[in-house]
């Protein structure tokens, strides 16, 4: 888009001279807030209709301004909108152009409105759309996890604590563990959406206006669920940005944990999964390499999401009421976190959806004798031994096994009973996890249904966001 000569600033009446280049370079937000053009036009259309209802603009003037806003919309949509040097932000750019097109009627557009309530309105509208987009990315990844869990059948792998093999778990169970954390993310997003669904339009610069506007009607016009109650709060509140950034940070953290896992799983040392070529990268020097860069960046970029959140919180801290220019710093972190999260969700979904699991390798690792230790202790418990004693008794067998005396199976059969042998059969220990929500085949069947139901409900909730 071409840059043209400077026009007058919005506040030129009070100033003898124009703004310094250094001021514009430092304070302008157009380079990043131009993406708000669509919501800015939507907000202005609602405001103009409100001014018509208030009798500030005649019906004819309302039409002229609405037509001009449509024309500006067309220019943005087709990429022909021309920014001028004096366009400090998207709001000034749109208003300038509307005034060029609509003349005097256009010059009435900003009546009873400040950029303070305007920018808050725009950003809330934008965030509603952004949350919906992120939520559909989360749902897409959940669908992949659910599909893969269903396909996993009776595959199992070692479950870990402290990254040491602990007890075997069904592969479906492991995959759904991540799907459930994403379920909470979705809940947080929807929750944040509803709390931010409040229109600040009509709060003016900070105190409202003497013009007889009706903020409730413009809120309805814009599809907001409710209207601000306090004009000072309306223009200074950025809780919704902080909440959204937190929800995105936590999604990022969840993806980073998935990422770390896939870095491990695809390593030769683990060998639990192989990436599809389309979702892996090679090395410029080492011909044999196939790297899990998506997984690594999911891990790496989570730092940036956390940084965006903490940066914004630091900006908000101790700000006096009401609007301060500091608040302009809300946008870049929000835009960046939304963009990165949407990209990450799609990349991770593709990576997991196309990968191949080596279930033989998983089973071989999960069938290691030591993973049966807890089942031996629980076997003793079923025979009346107090757990603490059972734990010590099995611990001794493990110690004898590790010192080279015999394999654990033979020791268990000799010392505990021949019925222990079944636990050592391939997949034998996995079947022992029968408690509700546990990692064995029977509770996992129940869980897959429970997750599918929760998932279907999420899809309905997302549709409801509109």
Nearest to 169, CA basis, from 394, 437, 382: 437
Strands 356-357 and 273-274: antiparallel
Q: Under the criterion CB under 6 A, does residue 144 sit at the interface with ligand ARG?
A: no
Q: Under the criterion CB under 6 A, does residue 93 sit at the interface with ligand ARG?
A: no
**∠ at Cα 321 (45, 20), nearest 5°?**
70
Category of 404 on φ-ψ map: left (φ > 0), alpha (ψ -120 to 50) or beta: left
Q: Report in angstroms how near the CB of residue 101 gets to ligand ARG at its nearest.
A: 22
C-alpha–C-alpha distance, residues 172 and 291, integer Å: 25
Cβ-in-10-Å burial (0-12, 13-18, 19+) of 14 comes to exposed
226 is catalytic: no
Q: Under the criterion CB under 6 A, does residue 29 sit at the interface with ligand ARG?
A: yes
**Candidates 180-188, 266-274, 275-283, 320-328 — which segment interacts with ligand ARG by CB under 6 A?**
320-328
249 is catalytic: no
Q: Under the criterion CB under 6 A, does residue 442 sit at the interface with ligand ARG?
A: no
Where do runs of H (alpha helix) occur along 152-230?
171-196, 215-221
Q: Is 424 helix (H, G, I), strand (E, B) or coil?
A: helix
Which CB, 99 or 116, lies closer to ligand ARG?
Answer: 116
Q: Report in angstroms how near the CB of residue 220 gets to ligand ARG at its nearest.
A: 24
- How many angstroms from the chain centroid is the CA of residue 315? 21
Q: Is 170 helix (H, G, I), strand (E, B) or coil?
A: strand
**Candidates 114-122, 289-297, 366-374, 432-440 — which segment interacts with ligand ARG by CB under 6 A?**
114-122
Residues 33-52 that bind ligand ARG (CB under 6 A): 33
Which CB, 119 or 179, lies closer to ligand ARG?
Answer: 119
Judged by CB under 6 A, the residue of 34, 97, 115, 433 near ligand ARG is: 115
Where do runs of H (alpha helix) occur along 277-383?
293-316, 331-354, 359-366, 373-382
**Site mask, ligand ARG, residues 328-347, x = CB under 6 A?**
x-------------------
Q: Under the criterion CB under 6 A, does residue 316 sit at the interface with ligand ARG?
A: no
**Candidates 17-25, 93-101, 113-121, 374-382 — which segment interacts with ligand ARG by CB under 6 A?**
113-121
Which CB, 119 or 135, lies closer to ligand ARG?
Answer: 119
Q: Are 141 and 351 in contact (CB under 8 A)?
A: no
Nearest to 409, CA basis, from 418, 167, 440, 365: 418
Q: Under the criterion CB under 6 A, does residue 394 sit at the interface with ligand ARG?
A: no
Q: Which residue reads 């669908």 in tokens?
A: 143
Q: Report in angstroms how near the CB of residue 115 gets to ligand ARG at its nearest.
A: 4
Judged by CB under 6 A, the residue of 61, 87, 89, 375 near ligand ARG is: 89
Q: Under the criterion CB under 6 A, does residue 178 sit at the interface with ligand ARG?
A: no
- How many angstroms from the chain centroid is the CA of residue 50? 35
- DSSP structure class, residue 169: E
Q: Report in angstroms how near the CB of residue 35 gets to ligand ARG at its nearest.
A: 12
Judged by CB under 6 A, the residue of 44, 116, 127, 337 near ligand ARG is: 116
**Candidates 183-191, 323-331, 384-392, 395-403 — which segment interacts with ligand ARG by CB under 6 A?**
323-331
**Candidates 43-51, 96-104, 257-265, 319-327 — which segment interacts with ligand ARG by CB under 6 A?**
319-327
Q: Under the criterion CB under 6 A, does residue 119 sit at the interface with ligand ARG?
A: yes
Q: Under the criterion CB under 6 A, does residue 110 sit at the interface with ligand ARG?
A: no
Residues 276-315 that bind ligand ARG (CB under 6 A): none
Q: Under the criterion CB under 6 A, does residue 217 sit at the interface with ligand ARG?
A: no
Active-site annotation holder among 162, 284, 403, 418: 162
Give the count of beta carbons closer than 10 Å to the beta carbon of residue 248: 31
Please write down the long-range contacts of 56-61, taking CB distance under 8 Å and 24 or more positions apart: 56/108, 56/111, 56/112, 56/211, 56/213, 57/105, 57/108, 57/111, 61/105, 61/108
Which residues are marked as active site?
162, 283
Interacting residues toward ligand ARG by CB under 6 A: 29, 33, 89, 115-116, 119, 323, 325, 327-328
């Amino acid at each position: 888009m071409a840059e043209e000569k400077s026009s007058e600033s919005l506040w030129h009446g009070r100033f003898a001279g124009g703004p310094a280049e250094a001021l514009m370079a430092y304070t302008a937000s157009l380079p990043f807030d131009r993406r708000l053009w669509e919501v800015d036009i939507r907000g202005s259309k609602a405001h103009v209709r409100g001014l018509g209802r208030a009798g500030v603009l005649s019906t004819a003037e309302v039409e002229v301004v609405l037509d001009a806003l449509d024309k500006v919309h067309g220019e943005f949509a087709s990429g022909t909108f021309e920014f001028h040097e004096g366009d400090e932000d998207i709001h000034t750019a749109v208003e300038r152009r509307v005034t060029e097109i609509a003349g005097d009627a256009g010059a009435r557009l900003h009546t009873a409105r400040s950029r303070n309530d305007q920018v808050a309105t725009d950003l809330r509208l934008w965030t509603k759309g952004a949350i919906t987009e992120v939520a559909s990315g989360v749902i897409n990844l959940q669908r992949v996890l659910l599909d893969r869990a269903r396909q996993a059948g009776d595959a199992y792998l070692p479950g870990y604590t402290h990254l040491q093999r602990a007890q075997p778990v069904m592969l479906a169970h492991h995959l759904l563990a991540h799907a459930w954390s994403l379920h909470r993310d979705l809940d947080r997003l929807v929750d944040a959406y509803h709390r931010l669904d409040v229109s600040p339009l009509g709060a003016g610069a900070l105190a409202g206006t003497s013009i007889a506007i009706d903020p409730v009607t413009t809120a309805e016009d814009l599809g907001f669920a409710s209207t601000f109650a306090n004009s000072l709060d309306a223009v200074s509140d950025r809780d919704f940005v902080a909440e959204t950034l937190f929800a995105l940070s936590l999604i990022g953290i969840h993806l980073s944990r998935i990422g770390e896992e896939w870095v491990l799983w695809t390593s030769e040392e683990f060998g639990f999964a192989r990436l599809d070529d389309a979702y892996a990268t090679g090395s410029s020097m080492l011909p044999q390499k196939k790297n899990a860069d998506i997984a690594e960046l999911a891990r790496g970029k989570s730092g940036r999401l956390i940084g965006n959140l903490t940066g914004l919180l630091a900006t908000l801290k101790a700000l006096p009421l009401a609007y301060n220019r500091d608040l302009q710093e809300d946008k870049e972190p929000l835009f960046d976190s939304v963009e990165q999260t949407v990209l990450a969700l799609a990349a991770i979904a593709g990576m997991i959806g196309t990968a191949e699991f080596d279930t033989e390798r998983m089973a071989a690792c999960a069938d290691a004798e030591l993973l049966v230790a807890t089942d031996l202790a629980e076997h003793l418990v079923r025979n009346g031994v107090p757990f603490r004693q059972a734990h010590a008794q099995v611990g001794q067998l493990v110690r004898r096994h590790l010192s080279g005396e015999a394999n654990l199976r033979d020791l268990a059969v000799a010392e505990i009973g021949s019925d222990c042998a079944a636990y050592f059969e391939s997949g034998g220990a996995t079947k022992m996890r029968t408690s509700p929500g546990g990692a064995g085949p029977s509770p996992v069947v129940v869980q897959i249904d429970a997750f599918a139901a929760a998932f279907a409900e999420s899809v309905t909730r997302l549709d409801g966001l509109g």
